[in-house]
Amino acid sequence: MAYGIKRGIRFQILSDEDLDRIHWSTLHILEKIGVQVDSPACRKLLKDNGCVVDESTRIAKMPSHLIEEALVKKKTSITLAGRNPKYDAKLDMNHSHITANGNGAVTVDFETGERRGSTKQDVANSSRIIDALENVHIHWPMVSSTDQDPAAVHLHDLDASLNNTEKHVMYETGVTLSDAKHLTEMGYVAAGGEKEYRNRPITSCLQCTYAPLQHDAGVMDASLHFAEAGVPLVFFGMPQPGATGPATLVGSLAVGNAEVLSALTMIQLATPGAAVIYGMGNAPLDMRTTIRAGGSPEHAISSAMATELAHYYGMPSCVGVSATAKVPGDQSVLEYYTGCVGPLLAGADLMCGVGLLEDSSCLHYEEIVMDNEVVGAIKRLIRGEWADDDTIPLDVIEKVGVGKNYLAQRHTVDHLKSEHFMPTLIDRRSYDAWSTSGSKSLRDSARDRVKAILKDHKVPPLDAEKQKKINSIIESTKKGLWGGESKTY
């Protein structure tokens, strides 16, 4: 049985004509306007393959045929492997996978309620919570190990993640060539070697493009290394409608599409057949607050449309969800439900971003569990229905007859859990039963589950020899500064 959420229904926002128009508009953008490419290696690659490159502006204009060729060259079958094979996420266009949100820098302490900088222990704890949850399938270091050496924070994040979940780990911190080398080496060690990793990549890297129409030098140099090393990549466009992209949602989608396809093209020119996932997270800018409106209907629609565009290209999608709520509760649940339901109904392959608040910056442990419940409800919604001899059991209906009930029937027992959403946090009891047992809110129940996970859920760590090698990699980074390569033009 495949891992992830099986999709039975799907809606469509964009028509085939709409998708064609976005595609041709994107080709126009890339050929007539171009993208700024700050990596000298990538500019040379483009120039050598017939692109018009202006070294003074660093703008490269790409002919349409290069984009089309890249779409043909791309890897067609991608599996994001887990340290435990039962968690292998096969991106087969028929299953959706939920990923944690990542790279926050603030944690609200679970015991004291204190708002503080996040620590490596927070990364470890959130990794273990993700490992225990049934509706979050891929991990992402949710916060940063700000209590560790600044030169190695991102490596400590990966270390804590690999040791506290057996699920696939995605990160967003490979933003220089040296970062990429260290992160790749850690993945190889954890997988048991380079050959083992290439067969079953247990880590992947999400790379953000820079809106509008820009590619950072460090990000692209790192991406060239990741692709050659067999590390799956997500290129994630993030134009903000009304700010770094046109106010119209499809206008911003076209700008983000140009960023993603141009990155794909550079990678396929360097490493044909590299594994690249199509990513997009276009939340509009709230003009009243100048904060991204994560969890808004527009965010959800943009992610749904990006999923349709990814599938138009035969690529798995990775789309975003976030929440601007400050505390776990009614607003966070509304924002995460709104943000997730549209893209999942549209067939999102990776739904990226549950578990953090304040626009993906602050971790509350209980929010992870609350979002798991939200996804569980949507999971039942998108499964769909069908009619056959089992779902319309005429023999059972005949046996029960008129005026009786089905409670004691074997068919009821066999189908109850698969047919009905069984919540772990939502309380459906009577008011008297609820009040007698403590009048617990959804957040209270989530806190209880977090306590149980942290007390009882055990994750096998990496063996001692692998950990020794990873520690050595982390120690070696103290000689340099993280991020020092990203401004090379």
pLDDT tens for the chain, residues 1 to 489 = 679 998 888 889 999 999 999 999 999 999 999 999 999 999 999 999 999 999 999 999 999 999 999 999 999 899 999 999 999 999 999 999 999 999 999 999 999 999 999 999 999 999 999 999 999 999 999 999 999 999 999 999 999 999 999 999 999 999 999 999 999 999 999 999 999 999 999 999 999 999 999 999 999 999 999 999 999 999 999 999 999 999 999 999 999 999 999 999 999 999 999 999 999 999 888 878 878 888 899 999 999 999 999 999 999 999 999 999 999 999 999 999 999 999 999 999 999 999 999 999 999 999 999 999 999 999 999 988 889 999 999 999 999 999 999 999 999 999 988 888 899 999 999 999 999 999 999 999 999 999 999 999 999 999 999 999 999 999 998 765 444 455 556
The per-residue pLDDT for 461 is 97
> Is residue 428 classed as helix, strand or coil in its secondary structure?
coil
The per-residue pLDDT for 23 is 98
CA distance 335 to 341: 10
The per-residue pLDDT for 141 is 97
The per-residue pLDDT for 487 is 56
Residue 85 exposure: Cα atoms within 13 Å on the Cβ side: 5
Enter the pTM of the model.
0.94
DSSP string, 265-305: HHHHHHSTT--EEEEE--PPEETTTTEE-TTSHHHHHHHHH
The per-residue pLDDT for 486 is 52
CA 217 to chain centre: 23
Q: What does each C-alpha distance from 99 to 86, 299, 334, 443 come to in angstroms?
A: 16, 17, 18, 21
